[in-house]
Amino acid sequence: MSQVSQAVILIPSLHPDDKLGTYVNALIASGFERIVVVDDGSGPAYAPFFEALKAHPQCDVLGYPVNRGKGHALKHGIEYILSAYPDAPGVITADSDGQHTAEDCLKVGEAMLASPGDLVLGSRDFSQAHVPAKSRMGNRLTTFFFALLYGHWLPDTQTGLRGISRELMPRMTRIPGDRFEYEMNMLVYCAGWSIGFKKVTISTIYLEENKSSHFRPFKDSARIYAQLFRNFFKFASNGLLSTLLDLALFTLLDRWLLGFLFPSLADGRSYYHVLVATAIARLCSAFFNYKVNKQFVFRVSSSRGSLLRYAVLVAAVLVTSATLVNALNLRLGMGRTLAKTLVDFLLFFLNYRIQKSWVFKRPVERNI
C-alpha cells in the first residue's frame, strides 16, 4: 500500500452532500494520504461540505466560483497535482458520491503502478439487475461504437474511476472538452496515441438509481456522441463529397469534354466512351478522397506508402463487395440492390477502421 498511497485521489465535486465527507474518510482509513477535491463552482450554500474536508491534513480543496464542468475540474486538478505533488506516481480519478469504493481505488492504483504506459479503467458489470436501464443501454451503445470506430472493446466507457500515471498526466490536461464529453475524448485521444487500456473489474454501485448524478441525459449524451463520431462524420462527409465529385466529373466528361479532348470517343453510345469517362472520373474522385482523408480526416502529414496502401484497399473493397453481394444473391436469394446496400454499409465502417489503422497509420505519438 505504501506506493499506492503516494498516488493522488482526484475528486471533482458539484453540489455535494454528506456522502462526500463519508467517502473521503473511507479513503483515508484505507491508507490514501493524498486527496485533492475540486469544488466545481458549487456556490456558497455548499461551502460547509468543502470546509469540513480541510480539517484533514491528507486533503487539499481547490475551487472556483462558477461551474465549469467535470472535464474542466479534472484538468484543473491534474495541473495542480503535477505542480504540488512532483513525486506522485500518478492520479486516480473518482466520483464524489461514493460509488467508487476505496478498495476499488486501491485496485486501480495498483494496476496503474504496474502498467504506467496504459490508461487504467475501472470497469463495472452492466448486466446486473440493479443497473438502471438507461445506463445499461447507453454504455452498451458507446462500447459497441467505440470498438467499431477505434478498435478497442471497453466494457465501461463511462467510468469515472481511472488511473493516470505521471507520464500520461501532462497530455491529459491538453485534451479538449470541459464537461462530461472530456472523459470520452480521453479514450478517443488515447486510442489515437496508441496508449493501451488496462481494464480492472470494480463494484457496480448505483445509489438511489444514480439520482445524485449531474449528468443531463439529452445534452450531455449529445456532447459525448458528437466526440465519439466526430472523426467518422468527417470520413463520411468526405465519402459523400467524393461520390458527388465522381458523378459531376462523369457527367461533364460524358456530355462535353471527352468528345472535345478525344474526337475518336465522340460517339456517346460507344462502350469505350463510357469506360474512359468512368475511369477518369473515378481516378480523380478517389485521389480527392485520399488527399482529404490524409490531411483533414486522419490528419497525417507524412505517411510513406499510404497512396499505394489506399489503392490496394480500394481494390480489395471492390472485390469483397462484389463477392459478398453475389453470394447473398445466389445463396440466400436476396435482391442485389438490398444486398449491396447492406454489404457496402458494413464495408464503409470496415474501410474507416482499415484506413485509420493501416493506410494512414501514424507513428506512436508521445506528445500532443
- Separation of alpha carbons 169 and 322, rounded Å: 48
pLDDT for the residue numbered 287:
94
pLDDT, the chain, mean: 87
| DSSP state string for 190-216 | HHHTT--EEEEE-----GGGGTT----
The residue type found at 64 is Y
Q: Which of 41-50, 250-259, 292-301 has the highest mean pLDDT?
A: 41-50
CATH architecture of 4-215: Alpha-Beta Complex (3.90)
pLDDT tens by residue, 196-254: 999 999 988 765 544 545 555 556 567 777 778 888 888 889 999 999 998 899 888 87
pLDDT for the residue numbered 268:
53
**Residue ranges of the chain that CATH labels 3.90.550.10:** 4-215
- Separation of alpha carbons 350 and 185, rounded Å: 22
- Separation of alpha carbons 256 and 133, rounded Å: 59
Q: φ, ψ for residue 164 (rounded to 5)? A: -120, 110
Q: How confident is the model at residue 269 (pLDDT cuts 50, 70, 90)?
A: low
Find cell 443497473 and name the residue: 131
pLDDT tens by residue, 84-132: 999 999 999 999 888 899 999 999 999 999 999 999 999 998 877 767 7
- Separation of alpha carbons 310 and 303, rounded Å: 11
Segment 52-71 mean pLDDT: 95
Residues in a beta bridge with 9:
35, 92
Q: What is the dihedral of CA 21, 24, 30, 32, to 10 degrees?
A: -150
Express as a percent the part of the chain with pLDDT over 70: 89
- Bridge pairing between strands 162-165 and 90-93: antiparallel
The residue type found at 46 is Y
| DSSP state string for 94-124 | --TTS-S-HHHHHHHHHHHHH-TTSEEEEE-
pLDDT tens by residue, 174-190: 999 998 899 999 999 99
Radius of gyration from C-alpha coordinates of the chain: 26
- Separation of alpha carbons 259 and 303, rounded Å: 38
Segment 343-360 mean pLDDT: 90
Q: Is 120 helix (H, G, I), strand (E, B) or coil?
A: strand
Query: Does residue 291 surpass a pLDDT of 90?
Result: yes
Q: How confident is the model at residue 172 (pLDDT cuts 50, 70, 90)?
A: very high
Integer angstrom CA distances of residue 30 from 106, 111, 339: 8, 17, 59
Q: Are 59 and 31 in contact (CB under 8 A)?
A: no
pLDDT tens by residue, 301-329: 777 889 999 999 999 998 999 899 899 98
Q: How many CB atoms lie within 10 A of CB 216?
A: 12
Helix axes 181-192, 217-252, angle to 10 degrees: 50
Q: How many CB atoms lie within 10 A of CB 11?
A: 27
Q: Are 100 and 161 in contact (CB under 8 A)?
A: yes
pLDDT for the residue numbered 99:
86
Q: How confident is the model at residue 367 (pLDDT cuts 50, 70, 90)?
A: very low
**Residues whose CB is less than 8 angstroms from the CB of residue 110 and which lie 6 or more positions away in sequence, other chains included:** 4
List the single range of 54-58, 200-204, 291-295, 364-368 with lowest mean pLDDT.
364-368
pLDDT tens by residue, 86-95: 999 999 999 9
Express as a percent the part of the chain with pLDDT over 90: 58
- Separation of alpha carbons 119 and 88, rounded Å: 16
Q: How confident is the model at residue 133 (pLDDT cuts 50, 70, 90)?
A: confident
Give the CB-side neighbour count of residue 327, counting CA atoms within 13 A.
8
pLDDT for the residue numbered 357:
85
